[in-house]
Copies of this chain bind each other. A is one copy, B any other.
Amino acid sequence: MQRTNFDGMACSIARTLDVIGEPWSPLVLRDVWVGLTRFDQIQADLGISRKVLTERLNHLVDQGVLERHPYDRRPRYEYHLTEKGAELVDLLMVMTGWGDKWLAGEAGPPVLYRHHACGQVSSVDLRCSHCGEPMHANDVDALPGPGSAV
Contacts and interface: CB of A to CB of B under 8 A. Distances in A.
Given A17-B23, A110-B147, A125-B127, 13 more contacts: A11-B110, A12-B99, A13-B95, A16-B98, A17-B26, A19-B103, A84-B102, A91-B98, A104-B147, A108-B146, A109-B147, A115-B130, A122-B128
Copies in the complex: 2
A72 interface: no
Interface in A87-128: 87-105, 107-118, 120-128
A126 B128 contact: no
B128 A125 contact: yes
Query: Which 3 pairs of residues, A with B, have the shortest CB-CB distance?
Result: A12-B99, A89-B137, A107-B147
Interface of A: 1, 3-4, 6, 10-17, 19, 21, 23, 26-27, 30, 33-34, 47, 81, 84, 86-105, 107-118, 120-149
B116 A140 contact: yes
Contacts of A116: 139-141
13 contacts: A12-B109, A14-B27, A16-B98, A17-B27, A21-B23, A90-B137, A93-B126, A93-B135, A110-B145, A110-B147, A112-B145, A113-B142, A116-B141
